[in-house]
Each structure stands twice: as C-alpha cells, then as structure tokens.
C-alpha cells in the first residue's frame, strides 16, 4: 500500500513482470550563478540502476532517436548554495518537430514520492508522442531517488522480511513487533543516509526544478505532474509563481490535508475502487469467477485476508502470501482498470491456495523485481513524507481513529491507519502540517481530477484549485476509473490537456469528460 501521508503513483511499468512471472523563502527565481551556468553533458542512457528499478537501457524512440541522460549539479542544502553538492539525474527525448515550432522542455514528475523519472518516462514515452512534437520531454530522479543521491535503508533480504510483517496488529504483541520493525527500518535509513535525509523535502526538489529550468534554457517551467507530482508542482508554483509556464496536474493530491486526513481519504478511495471492481465483475454477461454479487466478491476477499492472517499460503517461492502482501497486491491492482483482470485471476488462484499473482502485484507496489532486488522507492517515499510532514502519531492516536478508518473501508482501513506510525521515530523533524501551494500571479494550471481515483480521491482536485488561488487553477473532471486521467487515453481528456500544453488554450473551467 502507498504510504498514507502522501499517495504514490502506480508502478504501471511492472505489467510485463506480472505477465511473465534555491535559497530559503519564496524566491524570485535567482540561483547561484555558477550552478545556473553549468552545461549538461547529454549521453546515451545506461541501464537503470538497481535503485531505479533495474532492467535494460531504454529502447530507441519510434522515430529511431535515442533517449539521452545527463547529471545536473545542485546544492545539497539550498540555504547554503556554495556548500556540498549532489547530482540530479535527468533524461530527455528531443522534440520530434521542427525547431521553429519548439516551445521548450516539458518536465514530468510521475509521483511517489520516490518514483524514478529515469525509468518511467521511457516506459510511457509513446503516450506523450503528440506532446513531443513541440517539446523536449524531460524527467528526472528527484533528490533522494534512484541515482540522485538515493536514500538507502535496508537491504533486499531485510526488505523481504519487512514487507511480510503483519501491518494490521490485532494485539499488544503484534503492535510491539510492528513498532520495533518500523523503528529498525527508520534507524537503518539514518545510519546509511544521514547526510541526505534533512534535504529531501518537496521544497528542496522544487528548487531543483527551477535550477533545471534555467540549465535547460527555458524562461518558464512547462510541467506535467502526476499524483505526488501535483504536490511538487503546487509547491513549485508557490515558490516561483512568475516562472510557471503551461502546467498540468493529473491525479491530484489534496494539499490541505494532514497525513491522517490523507490516509482516511485513501481508505475511502480504495474502497470505492474495490466497490467498482466488484460491480464491474458481477455485471458482465458471463459469470464473475470470484463472486455472484458485488457484496459476495467483497465478503470472499475479506474472508481470504482473515484466513491469511492466521495461515499464509505459498506465494512466490520461497516467500508466502501473507495478509499484508495480499492487501498490498489488491491495492496495486486497483490503481488501473487494466489491472482488474489480474486481480480476478489472482483471487481465483488464492482461493485455490496459490498466492503467486497477488504476490507479484504486491512486489510491483514495493519496487521488487523478479530477481529479488528492490528499487529505493520505499526508502525515498518514507524519507520525503517524514521530512515534509510535521505530524507524528502514537499508538493511542491510531487506536482512537480505527473505528472511523474501518467505517471508511473494512478492507483497507486498518492497513492505512497503522501506516501513520511510520514517521514516529524518524530522525528528521517534519516541515509543515501540509504543503503551501498558494500561487498568486502564476499562469493558469490545468487540474485534472478522476472520479474513480483510489489513491488521490477526486475531491483533492477541487481543493487544489482553491488552494492555488483565484484565477490559477482550471478544473477538469474525468468520470473514469484508475489513478490519473491522461493515461486512460480518454479522447476528451487528451484533447483538453494537449490543447493547453501545445496551443496555450486551457479548457473551460468545470469541463467534464466521460
């Protein structure tokens, strides 16, 4: 499951695996002159590192052009720009159109926090072919992620054990074990990554983006943020409103929420997505193989999870499918309607004692590849969340709120509520109760909400529009399923987003696509 304090984007690129087995303050855009003058050395991209998820070097683009990679130098601490520096890894595809039609660079952040843009942009490159006609497509590993001073915590063997633990404790002994394991994970992060942990806040990444804008040679930052990327984009717009060009926020984080409110919203969102899955399965002309009615589908899943809590079943050898892994796998499948068929098949197998598909789905969520190696998405996710969020929750606070979480989602409520203790023993204090995204003076930002989004519930889009300020946010609604709207390939959404990014014409506020 995603960390409840900030939802992260689905790891959609794992489908193949499943099938086969800045100076402090509100700046004016000025940066250290030496850094802004740096020249990037673009070269053919190597294969992604293990911390980025591993795999092969990105394949050439459909027109034969190669993806190019470079490293930008940025201050470790933006309050001391003359001090230590870190490398921020970038990837780009040069525009396919004529130079006289080029607008500039279009910078992508696909979510997390903790997702690697170096691996994700090439995986979805064809989806943005139209945008490439007028932009260089650019993405990056934000600081703390992948090759950009990536946070390191536990090793692969330790992470296997960490993700197998019971994350919905039923008694004092199980609660104690959960807290001990969380403390051990956090201590490992501090031991291995102490130098970078204070400097992975979203405000730091936003300042990196403004440096990136200048190094790329752009007067304005043209931006496409998805999931957590909408929060990052909102923070950037707050810090540098005059530097915002054409920007799109898709799968929108509610910037007004505390971690507790965000987790509760996710509980409702994932429950809604599960309800929609159950309704879809049982409404088809053929029999639904996992239940005859929507309620039976959900009841059977609840029974499976309760059984796994006491007696796990074989998963991906030598690991077993635990209640935690099954819950995680179910949640991963709800990020996209395209994954619903895998959920159906995974449930069928699990009812017959084979937990392999649900475990592969869970591995996808956790950044584990088929070789048993983990990316650093979990380490980065926790590090950014805990550095951003001031709140620290006790066991007593979680227990008081459990009834409300269970009412929001009988299946996911406990899981998300107990996730709130993840930052309790973190070494770095959190920055704020919630991000400031007020952006008076910014160019219009297109804000796209999906009514069936489980991880960033639809209501967050309207809250983002209000928080950006009058005349900035332009709301677009997609009546669909899954996390995000643009990659649903809905023609109405595509036309609205492309129309703004390519031609500078946002749709009428309040437009609805279905």
**Mind listing the pLDDT tens digit for each residue in 125-157?**
899 999 999 999 999 999 999 999 999 999 999
Tokens of 64: 């034969």
Residue 16: predicted pLDDT: 33
Helix orientation angle between 172-193 and 377-388, rounded to the nearest 10 degrees: 90
Phi/psi for 158 (5° steps) reads: -65, -35
Is the CB of residue 224 less than 8 Å from the CB of residue 501?
yes
Q: Which residue has the higher pLDDT, 14 or 104?
A: 104
Residue 287: predicted pLDDT: 85
Q: What stretch of H or E contains 314?
A: strand 313-314
Strand pairing category for 221-226 and 135-140: unpaired
Residue 514 makes CB contacts below 8 A (sequence gap 6+) with 478, 479, 480, 492
Is the CB of residue 61 less than 8 Å from the CB of residue 93?
yes
Residue 32: predicted pLDDT: 52
Percent of the chain at pLDDT above 70? 93
Average pLDDT, the chain: 93
CB atoms within 10 A of CB 135: 27
Residue 34: predicted pLDDT: 84
pLDDT band at residue 257, thresholds of 50, 70 and 90?
very high
Strand pairing category for 68-75 and 43-44: antiparallel
Angle ∠(426,427,429) on CA atoms, nearest 5: 80
Residue 284: predicted pLDDT: 83
Q: What is the pLDDT of residues 9-28, one digit of tens each?
A: 333 333 333 333 323 333 44
Closest CA to 232 of 10, 6, 53: 6
Average pLDDT over residues 233-261: 97
Residue 21: predicted pLDDT: 36
pTM of this prediction?
A: 0.94
**Region of poorest pLDDT, from 25-34, 165-174, 308-317:** 25-34
Residue 30 makes CB contacts below 8 A (sequence gap 6+) with 23
Residue 30: predicted pLDDT: 46
376, pLDDT greater than 60: yes
Residue 380: predicted pLDDT: 98
CA distance 499 to 505: 6
CA distance 176 to 197: 26
CA distance 395 to 306: 22
CB atoms within 10 A of CB 128: 20
Residue 428: predicted pLDDT: 97
Tokens of 164: 């197998």
């Amino acid at each position: 499951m995603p960390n409840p304090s900030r939802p992260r984007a689905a790891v959609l690129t794992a489908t193949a695996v499943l099938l086969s087995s800045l100076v402090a303050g509100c700046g004016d855009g000025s940066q250290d002159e030496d850094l802004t003058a740096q020249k990037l050395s673009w070269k053919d991209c190597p294969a992604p590192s293990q911390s980025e998820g591993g795999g092969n070097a990105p394949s050439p683009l459909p027109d034969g052009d190669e993806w190019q990679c470079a490293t930008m130098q940025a201050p470790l601490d933006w309050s001391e720009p003359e001090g230590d520096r870190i490398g921020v890894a970038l990837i780009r595809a040069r525009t396919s159109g004529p130079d006289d039609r080029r607008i500039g660079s279009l910078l992508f952040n696909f979510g997390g926090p903790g997702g690697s843009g170096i691996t994700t942009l090439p995986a979805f490159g064809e989806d943005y072919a139209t945008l490439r006609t007028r932009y260089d497509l650019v993405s990056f590993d934000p600081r703390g992620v992948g090759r950009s001073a990536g946070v390191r915590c536990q090793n692969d063997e330790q992470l296997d054990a960490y993700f197998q633990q019971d994350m919905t404790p039923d008694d004092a002994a199980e609660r104690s074990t959960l807290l001990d394991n969380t403390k051990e994970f956090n201590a490992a992060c501090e031991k291995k990554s102490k130098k970078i942990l204070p400097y992975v806040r979203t405000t730091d990444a936003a300042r990196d983006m403004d440096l990136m804008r200048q190094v790329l040679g752009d007067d304005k930052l043209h931006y496409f943020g998805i999931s957590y990327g909408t929060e990052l984009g909102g923070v950037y717009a707050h810090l540098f409103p005059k530097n915002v060009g054409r920007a799109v926020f898709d799968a929108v984080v509610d910037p007004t929420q505390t971690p507790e409110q965000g987790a509760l919203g996710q509980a409702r969102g994932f429950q809604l997505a599960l309800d929609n899955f159950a309704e879809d399965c049982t409404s088809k002309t053929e029999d639904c193989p996992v239940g005859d009615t929507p309620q039976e589908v959900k009841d059977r899943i609840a029974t499976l999870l309760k059984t796994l809590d006491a007696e796990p079943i074989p998963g991906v050898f030598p690991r077993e499918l635990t209640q935690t892994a099954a819950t995680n796998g179910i949640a991963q499948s709800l990020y996209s309607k395209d994954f619903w068929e895998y959920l159906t098949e995974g449930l069928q197998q699990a009812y017959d004692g084979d937990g392999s598909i649900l475990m592969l789905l869970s591995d996808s969520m956790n950044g584990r590849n088929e070789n048993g190696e983990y990316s650093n998405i979990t380490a980065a996710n926790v590090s950014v969340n805990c550095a951003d969020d001031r709140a620290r929750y006790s066991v007593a606070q979680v227990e008081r709120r459990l009834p409300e979480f269970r009412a929001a989602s009988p299946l996911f409520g406990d899981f998300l509520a107990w996730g709130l203790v993840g930052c309790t023993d973190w070494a770095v204090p959190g920055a704020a109760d919630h991000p400031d995204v007020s952006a008076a003076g910014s160019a219009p930002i297109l804000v796209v909400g999906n009514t069936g989004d489980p991880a960033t519930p639809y209501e967050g889009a309207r809250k983002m529009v209000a928080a950006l300020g009058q005349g900035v946010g332009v709301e677009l609604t997609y009546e669909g399923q899954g996390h995000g709207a643009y990659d649903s390939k809905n023609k109405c959404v595509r036309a609205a987003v492309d129309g703004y990014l390519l031609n500078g014409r946002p749709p009428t506020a309040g437009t609805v696509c279905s």
